[in-house]
Amino acid sequence: MCRWLAYSGTPLLLDTILYKPAHSLIDQSLHSRLGVETTNGDGFGVGWYPQESIDTPALFTDVGPAWNNRNLRELADHVRSPLFFAHIRATTGTAVQQTNCHPFRHGRWMWMHNGAIAEFHLVRRDLTLLVDPELYADIEGTTDSEVMFYLALTFGLDQNPPEAVARMVGVVERVGHEHGVEFPLQMTIGVTDGERVWAFRYSSQRASRSLFYSTRVDTLRTLHPDAAFLREVSDDSRLVVSEPLGDLPGVWNEVPESTYGVIQDGADELYPFVPEPV
């Protein structure tokens, strides 16, 4: 499937989180430890919010593998942001093309996904017809991930992201069951409006793909007083990742099954995630 990371906190160069960690996302594109596939080379994407006041995030995507992309390497040395999304893709059957590379963007929102809608070819028509007609024309690619994004937008992502995602999952499961699919959905999702980040871990089978979040920086400074990187970032800086970026003790915490979290000003929060029937 795929691997992804979300960073929120002190403005950093993209290189700091994308290339420098021992088991960076670039390393995972060749040597994933926890993914379904070891290699994730079917395209990649990064998205970020400029520090200047701009309403929409910037995106850079490509259909080639991340590990040898010269433009990504160049970009990483020069782009600084307080909020990054990065994604490496292993297709579950849809085409390797630029419009299928994550993150996906609509207005100020970004979305990325690891997982799959089971038997997507059977349910795709029914699901896409549930997308708001005013949003439908903005779908560019052919992935289940993008359809999930536009369903969440249809169900009110702007107003209440957890409820919109719960309704999206509810309708995917209902339509899947109507087509005889026992376990319709597998997902970890990252979504942001540029201010907060929501991360979801859920699957119909209750056996979701891996997802981790980093421990608070002030706690990590106590555990690892010699780690120079920790002196450069604020206490509220946080990473959410498909798999840990290194083996430093105490850094990574598994997101529990059927749970979502919110990274925001003040205390971050974890909540149970329950699909809402639609």
CA distance 207 to 202: 8
d(CA 30, CA 17): 17
Annotate 136-169 with b (16+ C-beta within 10 A) or e (fewer). Answer: eebbebebbbbbbbbbbbbbebeeebbebbbbbb
Q: Are 45 and 4 in contact (CB under 8 A)?
A: no
Q: What is the largest CA-CA distance in the chain?
A: 56
- Out of 1, 2, 168, 251, pick the active-site residue: 2
Cβ partners under 8 Å of residue 158, min gap 6: 109
How far is Cα 154 from Cα 134, in angstroms, rounded to an integer? 9
Packing angle, helices 120-128 and 144-154, rounded to 10: 30
- CA 72 to chain CA centroid, Å, is 18
Is 2 tagged catalytic? yes
Query: Do residues 148 and 157 touch, judged by C-beta distance below 8 A?
Result: no
Q: Which residues are catalytic?
A: 2
